[in-house]
Structure 1
Amino acid sequence: MPTAMITGASRGVGAAVARALAPTHTLFLAGRPSPDLDAIAAEFGATTWPMDLADFDAIPTVVEPIDQLDVLVHNAGVAYPGRVAESTVDEWRSTMAVNVVGPVALTLALLPALRAARGHVVFVNSGSGINVSPGLASYASSKFALRAFADSLRNDESSLRVTSVHPGRIATEMQEELVAYEEREYDPSQFLSPETVAQVIADAVHAPPDAHIREVVVRPR
């Protein structure tokens, strides 16, 4: 079977993507070691790849055994709710490290394996990567940067398919924190489910080989 690495696979969208791709792909689940990640791996007989995206120097060694990779799904991310004046330099540094520089480092380390497979790189971006959302200054900035990296990768690596997925708000723990910041009541029915977003990603991955789905925008109905 083809192979797929998913970052941030322990819960939320990452776990849902693992479930959506498990019937058709051998899964490599990347993330910080945790019982949740181990449980998802056990569910599908997948391999875990312990990884901290903020530890850029360690990433090449972690993925060195991979010589061919069909799909790389960049899903891991962090968000610190706050407007510009409320934010801190440490929050900006952490956001850019995990949401931008980490994915860049992982992509560069896996580029030979992706080229060998004429693979597909999927970036789970955000609506905030198209239009800036109030109260998400550092997060939106990181998602704009991630979108630019995806566009650059697509331009520079013609053998790869590169897809940016821009979901609206998703019913996840991150969303609960944002709603709490907004001082509103959290109602998951108002948001996209992780499973819906995962299905959109799986559809892009399973597109016929002559199709290159470059960008997907999905919003709650």
Structure 2
Amino acid sequence: MTTPHTKPTTGTDDARAVRTAIVTGAAGGVGSRTVQRLAEHGWHVIAITRTNEDAQRMASLAGVDALYANLADVGALAGWVQDELLARFPLERLDLLVHAAATAHVGPAADADAGTWQRVLQTNVIAPAVLTGALLPQVRAAKGTIVFINSGAGERAVRNHAVYASSKHALRGYANTLRLEESGAGVRVTTIYPGQIATKMLAGIDRALDVPFEPERYIQPQSVADAIVWVAESGPDMQVTNLDLRPRQEVSVQFNV
């Protein structure tokens, strides 16, 4: 399912003290910048990408190791965590788990077929849930933080986004429930709801909706990454539960016409 790209560890006390993060969707606009920013802050980051080429590229960064995996293969995901991810990185603690991987679908609600529903729900809901469950012992040991990158579509209806919005509403329900269940273990659960982000995925959505792609008007991926790092490094006395990020000038009306 994957090929790891790793660097040798020193085995020193300093190395063991380094905070560790896992980031999915690590080659995407938000994911890649989150990996880079965490590494700049001294974290050891395990980047999960969709292709071997992306894994090789991410592993070239200082402080970053990488694996590629098909997260949509949800039936094999828990086994992959045990047999490949944790076999290669025998983590006792995981300080941060960031779910940035996602896929989208654009079209009328009545036109979505079963395959589309399955693809989007597997990637956007089932994969993060299964991955979280498989890594919860390590997150609990660190009293760590889990961050879900959701969407404004996870808070309201969006025309031509029935499948995507449904997946993000489901992810919201999962994250809120997980927060309640894991609070006694000291695990922090944060959901971030960005508005339009200047990424390739949004460029494709804009083309499908026949609206102009205007990245200068959208949130920059680096801004979302900075918010994720702020959440992860916030003080131990509080947790950020839900965080809305909107473009400075609201542009969502163009997606609801």
What TM-score does the superposition give when structure 1 sets the normalisation length?
Answer: 0.96
**Equivalent position of 1:145 in the other structure:** 170
Report SS of the residue matched to 1:47.
Answer: strand
Secondary structure in structure 2 of the residue aligned to 1:101 = helix
- 1:7 equivalent to 2:24? Answer yes
The answer to whether the aligner puts 1:99 opposite 2:116 as a matched pair is no
- CA contact 1:129–1:166 (8 Å) conserved in 2: yes
* Contact in 2 for aligned 1:164/1:214 (Cα 8 Å): yes
Match of 1:132 in 2: 157
Tell me by how many angstroms 1:166 deviates: 0.2
How far is 1:219 from its partner? 0.2
Following TM superposition, by how much is the alpha carbon of 1:58 offset from its aligned partner in structure 2, in angstroms?
2.5
- Which residue of the partner structure matches residue 46 of structure 1? 64
The answer to whether structure 1 residue 171 and structure 2 residue 188 are counterparts is: no
User: C-alpha displacement at 1:211, in angstroms?
Assistant: 1.4
Counterpart in the other structure of 1:24: 42
| One of 55, 59, 62 as aligned partner of 2:77 | 59
Identify which range, 168-177 or 178-187, moves more after superposition.
178-187
Contact 1:6 1:27 in 2 (8 A): yes
Letter in 2 for 1:204: V
Q: Secondary structure at the match of 2:159?
A: coil
Give 1:179's aligned amino acid.
D
Superposed CA RMSD: 1.2
- 2: distance between equivalents of 1:195 and 1:37? 20
Distance 1:152 1:87 in 2: 28
- SS of residue in 2 equivalent to 1:157: helix
Q: Which moved more, 1:184-193 or 1:89-98?
A: 184-193
Residue-by-residue CA offset, 1:147-173 (whole Å, 9 max, x unaligned)? 110001100011200000000010111
Q: Return 133-142 or 60-69, whichever deviates more.
A: 60-69
Offset, 1:43: 1.7
TM-score by length of 2: 0.83
Return the index of the structure with the highest Cα Rg. Answer: 2
Cα distance, 1:11 vs. partner? 2.3
Shift of 1:60: 2.6
1:36 to partner: Cα distance: 2.5
- CA–CA distance in 2 between the matches of 1:174 and 1:144? 19
Which shifted more, 59-68 or 208-217?
59-68
* Deviation string, structure 1 residues 69-88 (Cα, Å, up to 9, x no partner): 11000010000111202322
Q: Partner amino acid for 1:3?
A: T
8 Å Cα contact 1:168/1:218 also seen in 2: yes
Q: Which stretches in structure 2 are left out of the alignment for 5+ residues?
A: 1-17, 249-257
| Segments of 4+ moved more than 4 angstroms | none
- Other structure's SS at 1:165 match: strand
**Which range moved further: 116-125 or 33-42?**
33-42
User: Identity over aligned residues, as a percent?
Assistant: 37
- Mind listing any 5+ residue stretches in structure 1 that lack a counterpart? none
Partner deviation per Cα, 1:117-171 (whole Å, 9 max, x = no partner) = 1110000000000012111110000000001100011000112000000000101
Distance 1:85 1:57 in 2: 28
Deviation at 1:201, TM superposition (A): 1.0
Q: C-alpha deviations, 1:23-44, integer Å up to 9, x for none?
A: 2310011122332332122123
* Alpha-carbon separation, structure 1, partners of 2:113 and 2:77: 27
Other-structure match for 1:78: 103
Aligned length: 221
* 2:243 counterpart (201, 216, 221): 216
